[in-house]
Structure 1
Amino acid sequence: MKQMEVTIMGQSYVLGCPDGGEAALLDAVDQVDREMSAIRDAGKVKARERIAVLAALNLGYQLATRQAPRSEPAPRAEAGESAVDIDNLVQRLDKVLGDDGRLL
């Protein structure tokens, strides 16, 4: 396994990478950097850890919805209601993360 130095949101990291996995790792780093930078640039979240958690959730959600089998239609949201309850999710994250601050 080789090591690669990458930069995410201006900070350098040394990551382990299996032989032949360099392109996939660089693609993943690019996606994480773009997502974290977009959250930071939106200006609502300042703490790097919070930005990382939100970016991970966004990317995980994108991956899950892209790979989810579509055997039955997704439930329809009522007017003014999201299929994913973001407010509830943020409150649950705040509770788990404790005194380290609030996401929003």
Structure 2
Amino acid sequence: MKQIEVQIMGQSYLLGCPEGGEPQLREAVERVDAAMCKIRDAGKVKARDRIAVLASLNLAFDLVQREAAPAPAPPPAPAAAAAGSAEDDARAAQLVQRLDQALAGDGHLL
């Protein structure tokens, strides 16, 4: 497994990344960083762990809303494409869980 270093809210994290998954992981990091910075910049919450929890909840809520929203009927997709979407959601949830663990520990998401 490849390791990449990323920055979230100005702090470095060393992440394990499956082969070929770096673009998706970097996009996830950008979303988490943006969500956390938005909460921090609002000035109401100062503690990193609380910011991380709120950002995680906001991102998860967005996922739940997107899944619950009636989608227009797309053309029939291959089974592999449908499985990829659920897999992406599971990876995002796992990344959020690892971020929470890292904020409570040494800052490494391995």
Tell me the TM-score range normalised by the shorter chain. Answer: 0.5 to 0.7
Of Structure 1 and Structure 2, the greater helix share is in 2
- Scaled by the length of structure 2, what TM-score is found? 0.62
Contiguous gaps of at least 5 residues in structure 2 = 71-110
* 1:39-58 aligned within 5 A: 39-58=39-58
The aligned amino acid for 1:41 is: D
The aligned amino acid for 1:62 is: D
Contiguous gaps of at least 5 residues in structure 1 = 71-104
2 CA distance for matches of 1:19 and 1:68?
Answer: 31
CA RMSD in angstroms, aligned pairs only: 1.4
2 CA distance for matches of 1:52 and 1:7?
Answer: 14
Counterpart of 1:68?
Answer: 68
Q: Number of matched residues?
A: 71
1 CA distance for matches of 2:15 and 2:40?
Answer: 23
TM superposition outliers: structure 1 runs of 4+ over 4 Å: none
- Percent of counterpart pairs with the same letter? 66
Counterpart of 1:4?
Answer: 4
Max Rg structure: 1
Structure ranking higher on relative contact order (CA contacts 8 Å, 6+ apart):
2
